[in-house]
Structure 1
Amino acid sequence: MKKLILLSYLIAIAFCGSAQNKQLTMQDAMSNARTTLAPENLSQIQFIYGTEEYIYAKRVGNSPVWFSGNAKSAVDKPFLTLAQLNQKLATAQKDTLKMMPMIQFNRGPEWIVYAGGSKLALDPVKNTATVLVDKSLMGKSVVEESKAGYVAYLDNFNLFVAKGGDQKQVTTDGSANIVYASTVHREEFGITKGTFWSNNGKTLAFYRMDQSMVTDYPIIDWTTRPAKNVNIKYPMADDKSHHVTVGVYNAENKTVVYLKTGEPVEQFLTNIAWSPDDKYVYIAVLNRGQNHMKLNQYDATTGDFVKTLFEEKDDKYVEPLVPMLFLQNDPSKFIWQSNRDGWNHLYLYDLKGKVLKQLTKGPWEVLDVKGFDAKGDQLFYVSTEESPITRNLYVLNVKSGKSRRITQGFAVHNTQVSTSGNTIIDNYSTPDAPRVIQLVETANAKAKILLKAANPLASYATQNSSIFTIKSKSGDDLYMNLYKPVNYDASKKYPVVVYWYGGPHAQLITNGWNAGAGDYWSRYMAQNGYVVLTVDVRGSDNRGKAFEQSMFRRAGEVQMEDMMNAVDYLKSQSYVDADNMGLFGWSFGGFATTDFMLTHPGVFKAAVAGGPVINWAFYEIMYTERYMDTPQENPEGYAATYLSNRVDQLKGKLLLIHGQQDPVVVQQHSVDFVKHAVDKGVQVDYMIYPGHEHNVMGKDRIHLYQKVTDYFDLYLKGGKK
């Protein structure tokens, strides 16, 4: 297969020097990678609101000190010490602090400070402080303050709104079945919270979810004597879904109305937005089939449906993820994100629902919108226009529709934009540059370097990977990331471990430090004599609608095909021991790993499938029915992907791993597979992690990866390290 070489520096460059002989430990690879072996950073770097000044925390002696600078300053100067902060707090008649807190300088003219258990807005000029959230409320659930000084929170399942000493109980029927002001629809469709304050902060939109009709699902708490059952609500594919409505609470007259979102009750209410004048609430209403979306307008005072601005339909599915964004200087227009032309782009609309202009266009994805400049004429956004594996910041003139790239270099850029839009903080990395932080003037791209992090692995026996592409049978580029063994010898053959995911909303490979991975496990394995390959197959994120939707109604099918292409590539390399290859994936990757071991038995000698989906009929409605339709609509697809029914096709060694309290991919999946294996006389291995949910985190993650490593050592290297 033809390989596309991206840049010469991406190709397996080994670090040199006689001192480079330290060995990564599992602690280094999985824990220290995020602490002592993470690239140096400027802690909490941000802009000071309304200025071009940047600020960050730096330890001086035993206490952090805030330092600031700008494009013209030669040296960053101390801006705020703990003593100076305490002086301001004392003047404001607030408790002083023993330690420097986290401070947000970029939220507005006031600094947001957590002090004395409360959340404060500190005026740094007048040295006065306003309590945003009192310490009596900080421990409540889903706390969110408004511009007008109101605070919404949950207490004993019910929604309250407080201001000063006045507390109003907004709802009274909250329970485990009637859920208020919380995330709904299993946090799909970009939903991350359940309360939405209006622009003036006097009116609150909130979710109400009735899940009484959803089947209880048992999660066992093993920490008690005896163990006890804790039920969760888990709507499996084709079963009854919860019913969601949106309430609107007026904090001034203390009244509640519910938006008349209508029938059917099993629909998805997503991407809530307020009109600039706070008279209307907009909701992207999606049918349960997820192939028809309506952007609806509702009267915030009466709850009445006003009109549908526009609709989007798709033969497969529509997935609204981002609320409408009103123009800063023209409230009669808004920007909507859609992948209707095959790629996620920005569209300019008027309030009649008419498309005025497609603002961005091309075979690439808009990933994030950073917001407008101070004048409201320029919009900043992040996209993959240069490459699917890079991230760059662009600025768009909304009126002309012309955009301009700001960040430079084949890299992954994480950016912050100043209030004016004249300056950005650019925090970027490449495989050879662990971190560079610079201040960039948007008008002329003039840059001031604030930090160049040293390679934290310089003294370790490790090497960079190579990133390249191969072609899938469909003609798509499949990105691959390859580590060769440390002290690689071209005359030898080495065992292989392949890691993948392959499902929507995940991309494993980017052209950043460590190829985008957050840990050093691949380097650890390469240090121990493995070839390690990561691959983003079809179904993965940020490659356009067709690339993702290729798996529609038959999850795994294109992934199996693309993995075989990767296997063919590996087998074509003289240094690969094709008789000793292992496969590893988690969640959707666990499903894909198990599927591959059954679909292509004998290709991989051993595999590890963590948190695997085994039967899509066991998985939740919102995700499953989007990609698979319902079991009634797609019986062939569900039958083909019910992996337990094919357990007798397994030839290699397979280790299943599951968090015992997993509420996402419930343990029934792997248990069902093991039961079928026992019934068919097929040997599989099984490991549980009590107390862990879908991902094994914290100190036990080291144990998890040691377990995976030992499994591959046992079967791919005969137990040899």
Structure 2
Amino acid sequence: MKLYKLSLLTVVLSGTVFAQTQKFTMAEAVNGLRTNLAVKNISQFSWSEDGKSYIQAVKNGYLITDIKTNKQDTLVSLSQLSSSFSGKKLEALPPVKFFNNSNAYFTADDQMYWIEKSGADWKIKNTVSLDKDVSNVEILGDNETIAFTIKNNLYLNKNGKTVAITNDADENIISGQAVHRNEFGIEGGIFPSPDSENIAFYRMDQTMVADYPVIDWSVTPAVNENIKYPMAGKDSHQVSLGVYNIKNKSTVFLKVDGEKDQYLTAVTWSPDSKYIFVAVLNRAQNHMKMNQYNAVTGELVKTLFEESNDKYVEPQHPLVFFPNSNTEFIWQSQRTGYNHLFHYSLEKGLVSQITKGDWLVTDILGFNEKKKEIYFVSTKESPLERHLYKINWATFKMQRIDTEAGMHSGVLSSDGNYIFDVYSNSNTPRVANIINTNTLKYNNILTSDNPLKNYQRPEIKNISLKADDGTPLYGKIILPVNFDPNKKYPTIVYLYNGPHLQLVTNTFPASGNLWYEYMAQNGYIIFTMDGRGSSNRGMKFEQAVFRNLGTTEMNDQMKGVEYLKSLPYVDADRMGIHGWSFGGFMTTSFMLRHPEVFKVGVAGGPVIDWNMYEIMYTERYMDTPKENPKGYAAANLLDKVQNLKGKLLMIHGAQDNVVVWQHSIKFIKAAVDNGVQLDYFVYPGHEHNVIGKDRVHLMQKVTDYFDEYLKK
């Protein structure tokens, strides 16, 4: 009996040892958090219309849960819907969008289905066939009418009849789609009025923009597919805003004064559907007008306010009207140095600044009208975290809603009485709570297991350094597993350090990326840090790179290099660097402008010459090439290729329509002209990012390159 117990203990212990030594495969390191290592989540969460229950997707159905009793019922199931289909079986339940507990819609097999509850079952109420080229589908507030685009034109379907809102034969005149290359927070181009009687829409004329070839290599002979790509300093597209009256089948265009190539963003309807508000930003991006237009005539009513900055203004959010008000609204602005909430009135102008401080609001979640409270997400506790807050818009009393450290996101019920709070931190894969916004008591509805618990995990340290002006810089160092402080290790710096992205936050996993951990399992130190220019630290932090992209960022990253070199276990002769997009630009910049620092670099999708990047982004941070020739010259890497000393692998997607392939092609030509050797790899069929199963190939390529030239 004693021998049996000992044998059993040996089995248990050996299992534990095995679990602790399990390593990631490359596929797991790249795609594992979206596949077999995905953290359990509440799927397709939404609140019921009355805010008293919530809906979630489960296998083959949707559950509805009563907030007060926690009683769960099946709202709709695959078998219920399948019984309504005649002649064919619904094999799987597609995502269902609920208008309320009795009405919903979904899309399957190029058809839109409106369904409604009938007794214990659900019946198909209406269907609309969709053309195979349909995109940008928008359902109006009446829950019946839909607007959508087919190729470059905008259409409407009401009562089963489809009407063309636009009919432009020239494919370079585009309606109903996102414009300005999705800058300024623009996500779409269709804006239905609250009363469902009108549709505002973007119309983009890009006939004046130069054609740019993108070659499809998958066919023989290869086929050229031109796109319109407005490069810095060149001709840009021209955008207007139309308003289509559904009843009259007529369109008026807003009479927007100013430059033809200015930017129109933050498009917002007034709740009474009488007016449209537009942020009109000049091409120089240093002056914005918030204009009010009559939706019937298109005439300018008035300019509500203006914002200007000696560097740039970047409106990114539409107006948010207070509940049951046609005149009071919230405007988000960075005018004080951080994105904050400002209360405006159409009659009185600026009423108050609602939120204040050296932190920023990242998202507005909604209102509790009875308590005069606004709910939002912010960086108030730390730029490395996000937390949920409420503030009274009359007294400005503010209170944090959540309690735990980490990155929180929230979905507010329609009445503002409950919030769905989901968070993770370095030690917590995911927790979901329903919080009562009045009492702040919560009900836990999910605490996810750690899907990485059986894997060999590295030690991760949070690092805080200082820029040359004293600004704190936050980073992480990931030590090799089985770390020996008496050994020296090859070290890789992974960076982005460009606008609108933050790499270092308190989230799960603590590393931020399983590929970092894969490399740590294989004997590397990984270091990553957000320098000035990156996101969520305020305007001064972001604007430090203005007119000189690549310089301040490198100065900050050099602080990271100095820190690494101060560590006895970092092998300063075996340091590598890797980044993609802006990170690819930074990687290449380091290899050429500080060639003594890194032995090996891998640059993906890199900007090589900012003259060849898009107008909206480039001119915001660099002005035009004519206005800032020194800045463009300093950042241009084509005339610096002769400085390369280390090994450099450059990678590009052959169909890249963001950082066009010509960037790295011209770099290769410059290398040939200067007798400089480098390594190069192309991913046919991929645009700016290599995704899906091919990303495993990409990261194996990157890893092999470091193993070959850095690890030895």
Q: Are the structure 2 counterparts of residues 31 and 483 from structure 1 closer, same or farther at C-alpha, using a change threshold of 3 Å?
A: same
Aligned pair 1:582/2:576, yes or no? yes
- Deviates most, 264-273 or 123-132: 123-132
Aligned pair 1:506/2:498, yes or no? no
Give the counterpart of 1:257 among 252, 257, 261.
Answer: 252
Aligned pair 1:557/2:551, yes or no? yes
Give the counterpart of 2:139 among 115, 137, 145.
Answer: 145
Show the counterpart of 2:3: none
Amino-acid identity (%): 48
Give the counterpart of 1:97 among 43, 65, 90.
Answer: 90
CA–CA distance in structure 2, aligned partners of residues 21 and 662 of structure 1? 39
Show the counterpart of 1:67: 63
Structure 1 residue 138 displacement after superposition: 7.5
Aligned pair 1:520/2:514, yes or no? yes
Show the counterpart of 2:79: 83
Show the counterpart of 1:592: 586
Query: Contact 2:427/2:510 (CA < 8 Å) preserved in 1?
Result: no
Give the counterpart of 1:296 among 291, 300, 311.
Answer: 291
Give the counterpart of 2:678 among 662, 668, 684.
Answer: 684
CA–CA distance in structure 1, aligned partners of residues 75 and 273 of structure 2? 38
Structure 1 residue 661 displacement after superposition: 0.6
Aligned pair 1:246/2:234, yes or no? no
Aligned pair 1:533/2:527, yes or no? yes
CA–CA distance in structure 1, aligned partners of residues 124 and 340 of structure 2? 40
CA–CA distance in structure 1, aligned partners of residues 110 and 658 of structure 2? 33
Q: Match for 1:437: what amino acid?
A: A
Q: Secondary structure at the match of 2:640?
A: helix
Show the counterpart of 2:27: 27
Q: Secondary structure at the match of 2:641?
A: helix
CA–CA distance in structure 2, aligned partners of residues 81 and 181 of structure 1? 34
Q: Secondary structure at the match of 2:416?
A: coil
CA–CA distance in structure 1, aligned partners of residues 198 and 275 of structure 2? 11
Q: Are the structure 2 counterparts of residues 132 and 551 from structure 1 closer, same or farther at C-alpha, using a change threshold of 3 Å?
A: farther
Query: Contact 2:133/2:150 (CA < 8 Å) preserved in 1?
Result: no
Alignment of 1:411-430 (within 5 A): 411-430=406-425
Show the counterpart of 2:37: 37
Show the counterpart of 1:3: none
Q: Secondary structure at the match of 1:593?
A: helix
Query: Contact 1:346/1:366 (CA < 8 Å) preserved in 2?
Result: yes
Show the counterpart of 2:432: 437
Query: Contact 1:46/1:106 (CA < 8 Å) preserved in 2?
Result: no
Query: Contact 1:120/1:129 (CA < 8 Å) preserved in 2?
Result: no
Q: Match for 1:112: what amino acid?
A: Y
Show the counterpart of 2:305: 310
CA–CA distance in structure 1, aligned partners of residues 283 and 202 of structure 2? 18
Q: Match for 2:476: what amino acid?
A: N
Show the counterpart of 2:8: none
Structure 1 residue 82 displacement after superposition: 2.9
Q: Secondary structure at the match of 1:355?
A: strand
Query: Contact 1:118/1:133 (CA < 8 Å) preserved in 2?
Result: yes
Structure 2's unaligned 5+ residue stretches are 1-15
Q: Are the structure 2 counterparts of residues 103 and 215 from structure 1 closer, same or farther at C-alpha, using a change threshold of 3 Å?
A: same
CA–CA distance in structure 2, aligned partners of residues 119 and 303 of structure 1? 33
- Deviates most, 474-483 or 633-642: 474-483
CA–CA distance in structure 1, aligned partners of residues 547 and 102 of structure 2? 51
CA–CA distance in structure 1, aligned partners of residues 397 and 177 of structure 2? 39
Show the counterpart of 2:645: 651
User: TM-score, with normalisation over the residues of structure 1?
Assistant: 0.92
Structure 1 residue 75 displacement after superposition: 7.0
Structure 1 residue 656 displacement after superposition: 0.8
Give the counterpart of 1:208 among 203, 207, 213.
Answer: 203
Q: Are the structure 2 counterparts of residues 74 and 629 from structure 1 closer, same or farther at C-alpha, using a change threshold of 3 Å?
A: closer
Structure 1 residue 534 displacement after superposition: 1.1
Structure 1 residue 404 displacement after superposition: 1.4
Structure 1 residue 50 displacement after superposition: 1.2
CA–CA distance in structure 1, aligned partners of residues 147 and 65 of structure 2? 37
User: TM-score, with normalisation over the residues of structure 2?
Assistant: 0.94
Q: Are the structure 2 counterparts of residues 542 and 94 from structure 1 closer, same or farther at C-alpha, using a change threshold of 3 Å?
A: farther
Q: Secondary structure at the match of 1:154?
A: strand
Q: Are the structure 2 counterparts of residues 516 and 571 from structure 1 closer, same or farther at C-alpha, using a change threshold of 3 Å?
A: closer
Give the counterpart of 1:388 among 383, 390, 394.
Answer: 383
Alignment of 1:270-419 (within 5 A): 270-352=265-347, 354-373=349-368, 375=370, 377-419=372-414
Query: Contact 2:456/2:521 (CA < 8 Å) preserved in 1?
Result: yes
Structure 1 residue 411 displacement after superposition: 0.8
Q: Match for 1:575: what amino acid?
A: Y
Q: Are the structure 2 counterparts of residues 628 and 108 from structure 1 closer, same or farther at C-alpha, using a change threshold of 3 Å?
A: farther
CA–CA distance in structure 1, aligned partners of residues 235 and 667 of structure 2? 25
Structure 1's unaligned 5+ residue stretches are 1-15
Q: Are the structure 2 counterparts of residues 235 and 74 from structure 1 closer, same or farther at C-alpha, using a change threshold of 3 Å?
A: closer
Query: Contact 1:582/1:607 (CA < 8 Å) preserved in 2?
Result: yes
Query: Contact 1:501/1:592 (CA < 8 Å) preserved in 2?
Result: yes
Give the counterpart of 1:122 among 115, 128, 132.
Answer: 115
Show the counterpart of 1:10: none
Q: Match for 1:36: what amino acid?
A: N
Q: Are the structure 2 counterparts of residues 498 and 361 from structure 1 closer, same or farther at C-alpha, using a change threshold of 3 Å?
A: same
Q: Match for 1:525: what amino acid?
A: M
CA–CA distance in structure 2, aligned partners of residues 482 and 281 of structure 1? 49
Aligned pair 1:610/2:640, yes or no? no
Q: Match for 1:100: what amino acid?
A: L
Show the counterpart of 1:11: none
Structure 1 residue 373 displacement after superposition: 2.9
Show the counterpart of 1:52: 52
Show the counterpart of 1:668: 662
Structure 1 residue 574 displacement after superposition: 1.3
1:670-700: per-residue Cα shift (whole Å, max 9, x none)?
Answer: 1111111111111111111011000001111
1:533-558: per-residue Cα shift (whole Å, max 9, x none)?
Answer: 11111100000000000000000111
Q: Secondary structure at the match of 1:675?
A: helix
Query: Contact 1:65/1:79 (CA < 8 Å) preserved in 2?
Result: yes
Q: Secondary structure at the match of 2:428?
A: coil
CA–CA distance in structure 2, aligned partners of residues 174 and 317 of structure 1? 37
Q: Match for 1:154: what amino acid?
A: T
Query: Contact 2:54/2:67 (CA < 8 Å) preserved in 1?
Result: no
Give the counterpart of 1:221 among 212, 216, 222.
Answer: 216
CA–CA distance in structure 1, aligned partners of residues 79 and 293 of structure 2? 51
1:143-188: per-residue Cα shift (whole Å, max 9, x none)?
Answer: 2121233222223522222212433222222432111111111111
Show the counterpart of 1:6: none
CA–CA distance in structure 2, aligned partners of residues 593 and 344 of structure 1? 30
Q: Secondary structure at the match of 1:370?
A: strand
Show the counterpart of 1:704: 698
Structure 1 residue 71 displacement after superposition: 4.7
Query: Contact 1:104/1:111 (CA < 8 Å) preserved in 2?
Result: yes
CA–CA distance in structure 1, aligned partners of residues 128 and 557 of structure 2? 54
Aligned length: 696
CA–CA distance in structure 1, aligned partners of residues 101 and 314 of structure 2? 33
Query: Contact 1:366/1:382 (CA < 8 Å) preserved in 2?
Result: yes
Structure 1 residue 109 displacement after superposition: 5.9
- Deviates most, 153-162 or 318-327: 153-162
CA–CA distance in structure 1, aligned partners of residues 300 and 81 of structure 2? 50
If asked which structure has higher relative contact order (CA below 8 Å, sep 6+), I would say 1
Q: Secondary structure at the match of 1:559?
A: helix
Q: Secondary structure at the match of 2:297?
A: coil
Q: Match for 1:255: what amino acid?
A: S
Query: Contact 1:309/1:352 (CA < 8 Å) preserved in 2?
Result: no
Q: Secondary structure at the match of 1:134?
A: strand
Query: Contact 1:121/1:132 (CA < 8 Å) preserved in 2?
Result: yes
Structure 1 residue 343 displacement after superposition: 0.2
Give the counterpart of 1:110 among 97, 103, 107.
Answer: 103
